[in-house]
Amino acid sequence: MADYTIIAASVQSSGTINGVTLGTNIALESITAGQPLYLATDGTVGLCTATGTSITRVYYGTSLNGAATGQPVTVCRGDPSWTFGATIAAGQMVIVSSTAGKFCPVADKTTGWYVTPVGCGIGSNKIQLYPVGQLQASAASV
């Protein structure tokens, strides 16, 4: 399988139900809705990758809107029923890809990747987006 193809216009949080965690940060680079992000030391966010530096491989959240460099971006850091913007089967585990700003199935991981579970498909092309910090401590190189 390859990276998920996310349709930015279809990405959305489940709203104000319990478990949704949203925040706003400034974009370190151009960002599109539905991309995994890392938190830089200055509080800005950039595109996360499974093979990046010790900072860029730590998943912080997912963008809910597009933003140019220096513009605000809404970051979803947990959602029990997040509309993924891509086709995903129930039970499919989602991780950050080796391609910056992309997600992929866990089956795509390979040697040298730092694997952080991001969420799991729950049906209707939605995922349970795990609360950030809940599983990050288990991220390890494979």
Per-residue pLDDT reduced to its tens digit, 67-76: 999 999 999 9
Residue 138: band (very low, low, confident or very high) from pLDDT cuts 50, 70, 90: very low
Global pTM exceeds 0.85: yes
Average pLDDT over residues 117-134: 86
Percent of the chain past pLDDT 70, that is, above it, reads: 91
Average pLDDT of every residue of the chain: 89
Q: How far apart are the first and last CA of the chain?
A: 18
Amino acid letter for position 7: I
Q: Where are the domains of the chain?
A: 8-141
Give the residue-averaged pLDDT of 57-72. 95
- Residues comprising the chain, all counted: 142
pLDDT at residue 137, as a whole number: 41
pLDDT at residue number 134: 52
Give percent above pLDDT 90 in the chain: 70
Neighbours of 118 (CB within 10 A): 25
Q: What six digits make up the tokens of 90?
A: 């129930």
pLDDT of residue 76: 93
Distance between CA atoms of residues 17 and 136, nearest Å: 23
Nearest to 23 by CA among 4, 41, 39: 39
Mean pLDDT of 61-90: 94
